[in-house]
Amino acid sequence: MMKMQSPHLPERACSVQGHNFWQNIRFTIYVVVIALLAGITGSLVVSAWFEPDFYSTQKILLVNRIIGNTTDQIATWSKTPSPLAAKRLEYSTINIFDKSLQVAKNFYSREAFLGRVAMLSSSGWGIIYYPEFSQAKLLNWLALDNQGLEYKIENTIFDAERGMLYVKFAGNNFRVMSFPNWNNFTNGTKVWVSDYNVWKERQLGDTIVVIKNPHIITEQYSRLHLEPETAQGGIVMTEEGQFVGFVDIDGMLQTAWFADYQLPNLLEKGEFIKNNIDWSGYFVERHGASEVVGAPGSGFFIVNSGKVITDLKKGDIITSVNGSEIDPHNLWKTILANVGDFNLTVWRNGIEVDLKIHLISQP
């Protein structure tokens, strides 16, 4: 017999059994979603615990600073080039403070921060841009890593020409910076600068001639301007965290190429490579047609052939080194890198002459 719905009751939408079934399904889905979210959150927390550098751009030095009447820690980077670059800057540099500007225990004003030493060797050699260096100032230096550990300075070598100070810290197993391919840096190259507590994206701009004529051939002829301008002393790095150099007093790149070149000798002997080449002169260009076939278009004109005896003479125009035409912006590096015998081609009295340079010091 068919059961009839009472006429005074509303039409039945579904059975009680069906209603309970769908209620259980919704509850089960809710529990599964909550469990999934909890699992993801837990995995991120555990991962961030073991690899915090890849989940945060906050880099805190364990030294406090005072701004006005408030105190905070040397704080977060506004943005970073990459996690690897940020990590290298944190672990492969040592921070230098002027301890005479300490205002309370472990508290320093902004002016107390003198710069960062980029570590070059695991044995403790590093480099900082500090053109105003003197041994007297060294007495007030406090060297701290990013964990707040203090390091004793054992030795220093000052490169006054480039304003760079090589610092030897006591200890071993330092994490170090790596150098880039130096051929990759030209006008327009993007770099990153660590300016105290902020990363700044910059571009290598105009090539600026920085020497006065006549000049010694091993002096750096030009430097690249950083655009926009950046404060002196900041470490310049690539996107991948390789060490490019520093921002100099004029807002230009003071390349770390010379440090890369000197490092092997520095580690072996604790001193710079001695290069006795002191030829002085200036770069010249030929304008107008020449009556002599093969006349060069440019070269380095020798004003003084220096103290070391060679076949080079005053009035010679150097046109090539080891068969390669000279580039004014790179000649200083080419000459420095050739510490042994090498070949020069010079223009002398309208004739091209090949010279074998063998450095013999005067008695």
C-alpha torsion sign, points 41, 46, 49, 50: negative
**Cα–Cα distance between 141 and 342 in angstroms, integer?**
43
pLDDT above 70 covers a percentage of the chain that reads 77
Dump pLDDT digits (tens) for 301-332: 999 999 888 899 999 999 999 999 999 999 99
Q: Which residues contact 23 (CB under 8 A, 6 or more apart)?
A: none
* CB 81, CB 198: distance < 8 Å: no
C-alpha closest to that of 336 among 220, 165, 246, 224: 220
pLDDT value, residue 61: 38
Q: Which of the two residues, 329 and 33, has the higher pLDDT score?
A: 329
Q: Specify the pTM.
A: 0.76
User: What pLDDT score was predicted for residue 62?
Assistant: 38
Can you tell me the mean pLDDT for 31-37? Answer: 64
| Structural tokens at position 22 | 């769908």
DSSP designation for 132: T
Write out the DSSP string of 16-39: HHHHHHHHHHHHHHHHHHHHHHHH
| Residue 71 to residue 346: CA distance in whole angstroms | 64
* Residue-level pLDDT at 105: 87
pLDDT band at 160 (very low <50, low <70, confident <90, very high): very high
Distance CA 245, CA 234 (A): 9
* 220 pLDDT above the threshold of 90: yes
Residue 18: what pLDDT?
55
Residue position matching structure tokens 């750096």: 220
State pLDDT tens for residues 118-148: 999 999 999 999 999 999 999 999 999 999 9
pLDDT digits (tens, 9 = 90+) for 59-69: 333 344 343 34
pLDDT reported for residue 59: 36
pLDDT beyond 70 at 77: no
What letters, b where the CB count within 10 A reaches 16 and e where it falls short, cover 337-351? ebeeebebbbbeeee
Q: For residue 31, name the pLDDT band (cuts at 50, 70, 90).
A: low
Least confident of 17-26, 65-74, 237-246, 272-281: 65-74
pLDDT of residue 294: 80
Average pLDDT over every residue of 150-161? 95
